[in-house]
Amino acid sequence: MRKNIVAGNWKMNLDYEQGLSLFSEIVNMVKDEVVGDQEVVVCSPFIHLSSIAKLATAKVAVGAQNIHQADAGAYTGEVSASQVKSVGAAYVILGHSERRGYFGETDALLAEKVNTALKNELKPIFCIGETKDEREAGNFFDIIKTQLEQGVFHLSAEEFAKVVLAYEPVWAIGTGLTASPEQAQEVHAFIRATLAAKYGQELADATTILYGGSCNPSNAEDLFSQADIDGGLIGGASLKSRDFLSIVKAFNTK
């Protein structure tokens, strides 16, 4: 019904050669592991993108971790969506909490980036999630709803159908603290209900919602067994081919 995705986010790690060899290993290792309607995505730094895109397969796609919102122009140091698309990438991570937090990316800016990605036929992996303070204050459902409303709810249903969502509680990213399967499922179910209210149940049921935040080989199976968790966005554990493969395999047991 909806696609299951395990996406790796390499962040700002790996030099050129290291990235190429890790991607080749991943392609070889997942060859026999990706079953049914499952896709593996590797989101690399820009520097690797054109080379690994040439090695991409029907089962392993590549994506960027950012784009600029403008089509082209005098934006020194930035990379456009059409440039990313032109090397063969299929996805782009948008709204990651590190972009929101360290680079001041606002919901309004992210809405522009989502538009630019879709215009250039890149599928956004749009990240949402609450901070530790917001979780403790208990208003995290409101925070997540606002991120959806301001980041993607301006899209038509046809456009929204191309978006993948990733719920990433900020307190779980790179901290070793993982949301429990029940905590994650609770939010995923809330997200799907919010989508159903906006776009109808059919589109909500067809939307892939990933979990991200310290997902690793020992917790992936429990997380992925939850009804509304359709895969993972994997940071640290995506840098080791064996760990990443274990996470991909964890999905096959669903």
Query: Active-site residue among 98, 134, 168, 188?
Result: 168
Judged on CB neighbours under 10 Å (0-12, 13-18, 19+), 113 is: buried
Binding segment toward ligand PGA, per CB under 6 A, in 72-80, 107-115, 167-175, 199-207: 167-175
H or E stretch at 201? helix 201-206
Q: Which of residues 25-54 bind ligand PGA (CB under 6 A)?
A: none
Q: Which of 214, 219, 226, 241 binds ligand PGA (CB under 6 A)?
A: 214
In DSSP notation, 113-172 reads HHHHHHHTTPEEEEEE---HHHHHHT-HHHHHHHHHHHHTTTS-HHHHTT-EEEE--GGG
**Amino acid present at 151:** G
Query: Active-site residue among 48, 68, 96, 188?
Result: 96
Residue 236 near ligand PGA by CB under 6 A: yes
- Least Å distance, CB 130 to ligand PGA, is 14
Q: Does residue 96 have an active-site annotation?
A: yes
**Amino acid present at 228:** D
Q: Which of 52, 56, 220, 233 binds ligand PGA (CB under 6 A)?
A: 233
- Least Å distance, CB 214 to ligand PGA, is 4
Q: For residues 42 and 219, what is the distance between their CA atoms, to the nearest angstrom?
A: 20
- Least Å distance, CB 74 to ligand PGA, is 31
